[in-house]
Structure 1
Amino acid sequence: MRDTQTRRHSSLAFAASALGLTFAAPVLADDAAERLTERLEPLESYQASFEQQILDGSGDRLQSARGEMWLSRPGLLRWEVDAPYSQIVVSDGDDVYLYDPDLEQVTIQAMDDRVTHTPALLLSGSVSDLTESYEVFYEQDDGDDVFTLVPISADTLFEELSMVFDADTLTELWMMDSTGQRTSITFSDITNNGNIDRSQFDFDIPEGTDVIREEL
């Protein structure tokens, strides 16, 4: 049961993950939020392959994974982990489905604030809600634009989230949680504002799958 719970939470972490970096903030917070808004508002859809690494507080690698993601704003997300084991996270705008084929189990969560404050779902949500819920800092690093978000509320899955942009394209997410665990996600084969079939964001529960619905 403990292993099952760990893997269930790892599924949401895959949809959420990113390794947090702390940057100095020479740009005023309002200006940083405005710059981030300029990057995100034109983003209607996003498709990419990803590689993810999870590190402990001392920098030792705990886990790695790779897969593909699709998002469409507002509120639609599909996050598929291909290796080392398959997991799927789908948001249809109302509910989030966390599916583990090996366990033949799907967990369903409503799109409440706790779930929508995971990093990947943040990207598919409202830009105004994002900038109202986080302090935003900006820094340039080797020509990339780095935006670091610090939650105003304590009820989030991370303490810091950084988004790295090459010009107008999101290339990396970095996150640190309250335990010091850090996660990095690097994107490749990126398509901004391409056509994504709406059916990508539907999830049909396979026959014989155990269904767990987490109530608010």
Structure 2
Amino acid sequence: MRLSRTLTSSIAVLGAAMLIPATALADGAERLSRMLSPLETYSADFEQQILDGSGQRLQEAQGHMWLSRPGKFRWEVEAPYEQIVVSDGNEVTLYDPDLQQATVQPLDQRVTHTPALLLSGSSSDLTENYDVSSSQQGTAETFTLVPKSPDTLFEELRLTFYSEQLGFLQMTDSTGQRTAIAFENVEQNGSVDNSRFNIDLPADTDVIRESGQAAAQ
């Protein structure tokens, strides 16, 4: 089974503790903005699962991601099938080596509603585009984001920080299907070479742009 676009396109579970009631929406957005504002670069291994509405696992994958704000990221799925998603801040490229195909689209408003670009974008966009609430359990702080616009790939996004470092992401779509991503070996604000956010495609790659026209790269 090929990996879905959603699986391609953010953990240690802490012991039970007293759950702090969710904050007001404005407070949650302000708190999340403060936590994301210092973030310049982010690098981590990830394990990713897609679960159906009943919690049954449908797909899983492992890989590595790099992020540099504003607007740049590289998401490499290494197993079970190789796929690469790269944003250079202007365009997003999804490359599938097995199919020898790449899809390129501009970094428009619709694309920036995906979780990776949400993290790489401006933290001030959160209060404008999402209703945000937060809760805390021990050192784990979870933010729940609900898009104000219907033109998104998810209906709810949860970001969990452990000691103020992003460690888990869960996205739920309109069918109840969940994409859960656990991050490990995290390096925040370390050195990331800008070449990570470019991709050199093989000469025989079919490049499909958003217009639907294909060209040889």
TM-score, structure 1 normalization: 0.90
Superimposed CA distance per residue, residues 127-174 of structure 1 (whole angstroms, 9 cap, x where no aligned partner) = 111221000000013430000000000000000000000122000001
- Structure 2: which 5+ residue stretches go unaligned? 11-18, 213-217
Distance 2:147 2:66 in 1: 25
Letter aligned with residue 124 of structure 2: S
SS of match in other structure, 2:32? helix
Aligned to 1:164: 160
Compare CA radii of gyration and give the structure with the larger one: 2
Deviation at 1:13, TM superposition (A): 4.0
Q: Is the 8 A contact 2:33 2:126 kept in 1?
A: no
Q: Is the 8 A contact 2:144 2:158 kept in 1?
A: yes
Matched, 1:80 2:76: yes
SS of match in other structure, 1:127? coil
Deviation at 1:86, TM superposition (A): 0.2
Q: Which has the higher helix share?
A: 1
SS of match in other structure, 1:113? coil
Matched, 1:36 2:32: yes
Aligned to 1:122: 118
What's the RMSD between the two structures over aligned residues? 1.8
Aligned to 2:215: none
Aligned to 1:134: 130
Matched, 1:95 2:91: yes
Distance 1:13 1:64 in 2: 8
Aligned to 2:189: 193
Distance 1:180 1:55 in 2: 9
Aligned to 1:14: 8
Aligned to 1:71: 67
Deviation at 1:114, TM superposition (A): 1.0
Letter aligned with residue 159 of structure 1: E
- Structure 1: which 5+ residue stretches go unaligned? 17-22
Dislocated runs of 4+, deviation >6 Å: none
Between 1 and 2, higher relative CO (CA 8 Å, sep ≥ 6) is seen in: 1
Deviation at 1:11, TM superposition (A): 3.4
TM-score, structure 2 normalization: 0.89
Aligned length: 204
Q: Is the 8 A contact 1:91 1:97 kept in 2?
A: yes
Aligned to 2:141: 145
Distance 1:86 1:131 in 2: 35
Aligned to 1:19: none
Percent identity (aligned): 58
Distance 2:80 2:36 in 1: 31
Q: 2:43 aligns with which of 47, 54, 59?
A: 47
Distance 2:66 2:9 in 1: 11
